Structure 1
Amino acid sequence: MALKYYFDLMSQPSRAIYIFLKANSIQFEPKPVALRKGEHLTNEFKMLNPWQKVPFLDDNGFILTESVAILRYLSCKYNLPEHWYPRNDLLKQARIEEYLHWQHLNTRLQAAMVFQQKLILPVARQSKIDQAKVDRFKAELPKVISHIDTYFLKDDKYIGGDEVSVADLLGVCELMQLYPVYEEDLYLANPRVKAWMERVRERLNPHFDEGNAIVYRTREAYKKIGPSLGAKL
């Protein structure tokens, strides 16, 4: 039975796993879920995933729901190249694990909340952007980006070394959430982080651009509706 992958490409970790599956030629049955239409709130979906979130895997009846766990699982199950998730180099594994734990309340939280406050909530509520909340989350992002630069990357090409890992993929997909709402200057202003993001994109293309196509389209849509939401473009 084919691996089933449930995802919405507007979700950052959904994109990361989608790109990962494609880049490693792992065969899967795509199961797109439109969160904006509430498809994750049905009883049928809840029977598969009680958390009613994406992404998640159904591997012949084995359900796995957390993106970090999914990436580890796939790396080990398919015996993928060590650079993705080192199994035999404890130091590299520990550095990647460090980022995977750190990112939840840093890269992921801050970038996701800027996107949510500038687009998701105003559209859902038919209201103006709460600029004070946007500014609060934006204020944390330069610190996050600086930590990626000075601590996680330092003089390396990628987090953990000279080759791309699951940490890089998750990190870049989270920061890409700023692109649709015209906040990419937050990471482009840092030369090392900018170069790292471009390196990851080039290393994983054409799958990176395929996975992020919806991000690029959303930017064009936001260009038209942003002013009506009270956005500062």
Structure 2
Amino acid sequence: MLQPLKVYADRRSQPSRAVIIFCRVNQIEFEEVTVDLFKSEHLTPEFRSIILRPFTDFLSFHQVGGNSPSPKINPMGQVPAIVDGRFKLFESHAILRYLASVFPGVADHCAAGASLVQDTTYQGSPLSLGLGGVSPGSWRTCNASSCGRWFSIAARQLMTWLEEGSCTWYPADLFTRAKIESILDWHHSNLRRGAATLVMHTVLAPFLGIATSPEAAKQAERLLMQSLGTIESVWLKGDAKFLLGSPQPSIADLSLVCEIMQLEILGDDVRDRFLGAHDKILIWMDNVKKATSPHFEEAHELLFQVKAIMQSKGPAASPKLKITSKL
């Protein structure tokens, strides 16, 4: 009997919320295991320690002697992390990619069309493809012999268009998927770095009794503003409903919006100072919320509770904690 997927998370963590929302929206059965970051549960030996396990504990066709190092949950001491049977994984973007790829019907519905291109035909007719895009037009035509690997890529693109599939969370379309990957990579060193650092050094650190850095907060504020501008100017052009002009959200939409939601902790006035001038971002965030409702709202309930506590008490004199979380 297969063990249920386990998601180790703290809903005060924006990447944790993204994974939880993704599972809920896509009806992926899982057990949520709360790891309280404020209590440093992510740093306990039970969560992060490396233990030695015999190779024979793992699926193998041959018995191998010796021991194999294996993390109990996540040796990095961060959330989210998942355990899927004997498989363990951390880093939210890697988890989202894994879930979208492993669970049937989640990634997108265009992948089925690509499987029809086995002998450079579509419904019995030879394919002669253009390299100008995925919609009809005056293209420079090519075939398998003249264009090599580009023919298979173009064929996949054309099949996506012919089948009129609903490309969504993690599209099979190679070009679109690569662009989503670029957004996710950009996110870590830009939007996330700016938003998370600002929240930590202006609100969370004082609340938890941790030393703050005004200079780090200033740099984070500048990076956050630049990042919001980049999202609008590069990925939300025109009347785009979601990133890259997609009619449906991707894992990049979900990850970035959950990150921006963390600004709620700063209070309404400060949040509005950052987002008030970015109408496109506000509309986009609302679109993501609606597309993932009611799970989006449910996953963020704890965040708003934390916001209310911070607003009522202000910075608290708490014991200093060693925080290496992904808040």
Q: Does 1:102 align with 2:186?
A: yes
1:43 corresponds in structure 2 to: 45
Q: Which amino acid aligns with 1:19?
A: I
Question: What is the CA-CA distance between 1:228 and the residue it aligns to?
Answer: 7.2
Q: Does 1:222 align with 2:286?
A: no
2:18 corresponds in structure 1 to: 16
SS in 1 for 2:11: coil
1:164 corresponds in structure 2 to: 249
Q: Structure 1 stretches (4+) deviating beyond 3 angstroms?
A: 129-133, 226-229
Q: C-alpha separation between the residues in 2 aligned to 1:76 and 1:208?
A: 22
Q: C-alpha separation between the residues in 1 aligned to 2:45 and 2:191?
A: 32
1:69 corresponds in structure 2 to: 94
Question: What is the CA-CA distance between 1:227 and the residue it aligns to?
Answer: 6.9
1:150 corresponds in structure 2 to: 233
SS in 2 for 1:86: coil
Structure 1 unpaired stretches of 5+: none
- Residue by residue over 1:59-81, the C-alpha shift from the partner in whole angstroms, topping out at 9 and shown as x without a partner, is 00100111111101100111314
1:59 corresponds in structure 2 to: 84
Question: What is the CA-CA distance between 1:167 and the residue it aligns to?
Answer: 0.3
- Equivalent in 258, 264, 268 of residue 173 of structure 1: 258
2:158 corresponds in structure 1 to: none
- Residue by residue over 1:140-187, the C-alpha shift from the partner in whole angstroms, topping out at 9 and shown as x without a partner, is 222100100010121221113111010000000011111111232212
Q: C-alpha separation between the residues in 1 aligned to 2:185 and 2:215?
A: 28
Q: Which amino acid aligns with 2:259?
A: E
- Residue by residue over 1:97-120, the C-alpha shift from the partner in whole angstroms, topping out at 9 and shown as x without a partner, is 110000001111100011101222
1:115 corresponds in structure 2 to: 199
Tell me the matched-pair count. Answer: 227
Describe the shift of the 1:72–1:207 C-alpha distance in structure 2 as closer, same or farther (beyond 3 A): same
- Equivalent in 195, 208, 217 of residue 124 of structure 1: 208
Kindly name which structure, 1 or 2, has the bigger radius of gyration based on alpha carbons: 2
SS in 2 for 1:154: coil
Q: C-alpha separation between the residues in 2 aligned to 1:189 and 1:215?
A: 23
- Equivalent in 259, 263, 285 of residue 197 of structure 1: 285
Structure 2 unpaired stretches of 5+: 49-71, 109-167, 318-327
Contact 2:17 2:300 in 1 (8 A): yes
Q: Which amino acid aligns with 1:96?
A: I
- Residue by residue over 1:81-100, the C-alpha shift from the partner in whole angstroms, topping out at 9 and shown as x without a partner, is 4210012x122112111100
Q: Which amino acid aligns with 1:48?
A: I
Question: Structure 1 length as normaliser, TM-score?
Answer: 0.92
Q: Which amino acid aligns with 2:225?
A: P
Q: Which amino acid aligns with 1:157?
A: K
Question: What is the CA-CA distance between 1:224 and the residue it aligns to?
Answer: 1.8
Q: C-alpha separation between the residues in 2 aligned to 1:205 and 1:219?
A: 21
Contact 1:179 1:219 in 2 (8 A): yes
Q: C-alpha separation between the residues in 1 aligned to 2:279 and 2:44?
A: 44
Q: C-alpha separation between the residues in 2 aligned to 1:126 and 1:184?
A: 22
Contact 1:158 1:196 in 2 (8 A): yes
Q: Which amino acid aligns with 2:256?
A: G
Question: What is the CA-CA distance between 1:216 and the residue it aligns to?
Answer: 1.2
Deviates more, 1:130-139 or 1:3-12: 130-139
Question: Structure 2 length as normaliser, TM-score?
Answer: 0.66
2:295 corresponds in structure 1 to: 207
Contact 2:208 2:316 in 1 (8 A): no
Q: C-alpha separation between the residues in 2 aligned to 1:194 and 1:136?
A: 23
Q: C-alpha separation between the residues in 1 aligned to 2:46 and 2:210?
A: 29
Describe the shift of the 1:122–1:15 C-alpha distance in structure 2 as closer, same or farther (beyond 3 A): same
Deviates more, 1:184-193 or 1:168-177: 184-193
Q: C-alpha separation between the residues in 1 aligned to 2:276 and 2:190?
A: 18
Q: C-alpha separation between the residues in 1 aligned to 2:314 and 2:178?
A: 41
Q: C-alpha separation between the residues in 2 aligned to 1:57 and 1:227?
A: 33
